[in-house]
Amino acid sequence: MIALFQDDELLPALGMLALIAAIYAVFGIVCAVMAPGRGRSAVGWFFIGVFTQCIGIILILLLPNLKVEEEKQRRRDEETRRLREQLKKERQVADERHDVHRTRLGVHDRALGVDTSSAEAPRLTSSPPPPLPPGAAAPETMWFFAQGREQVGPVPASRLRQLFTDGQVDGQTLVWREGMANWTPITDVVDLLGDGRA
């Protein structure tokens, strides 16, 4: 063994190996020192730094900081939890209001003797009048017209013609009378309004 240290060629090679090992160790130590500040394992990054040298340092700088990412995730989770609790409270309030309204409507239904809980809406058309007695004069034709989404009528033909003439009913207003298949714009039937007789 002593003979190995006396060889002049071996000492410079050992010195070079020691220098390379020291450089590798420095990279490992630099990575190990930086790793905990970025939320990473110091031991693992020591070995990464030893084996990859500069690449290890670049990697530790480029990879996202796990501490910051964990903090962001914690904040998101907290905000999600808070929003879920708020939504739950709002649903409870809405359900309570719904129950109160349902109870009040039930009381009104019982007091009036009606059932408003059914989904079917009441019809707006009235039932047709009974037939005329024989020999009676024909009454003035009765018309219905649409005003917005509401059905208005029955009104006499003379009144509907007057509303149209005065501009209170425009040309696109839909009208209907018994015997017609569909609602029609008033401009299509204005001649039927005539003097108010069918």
Q: d(Cα 160, Cα 149) in Å, to the nearest integer?
A: 18
Mean pLDDT of 58-77: 89
Q: Which has the minimum average pLDDT: 58-62, 83-87, 187-191?
A: 187-191
pTM: predicted TM-score of the whole model, two decimal places: 0.36
Amino acid 197: pLDDT = 39
Peptide bond before 12: cis, by omega within 30 degrees of 0?
no
User: Dihedral (C-alpha) 37, 39, 42, 45: value to the nearest 10 degrees?
Assistant: -100
Higher pLDDT, 96 or 197: 96
Nearest by Cα to 132 from 141, 123, 122: 141
Amino acid 7: pLDDT = 56
Amino acid 77: pLDDT = 94
Per-residue pLDDT for 85 more than 90? Answer: yes
Per-residue pLDDT for 195 more than 80? Answer: no
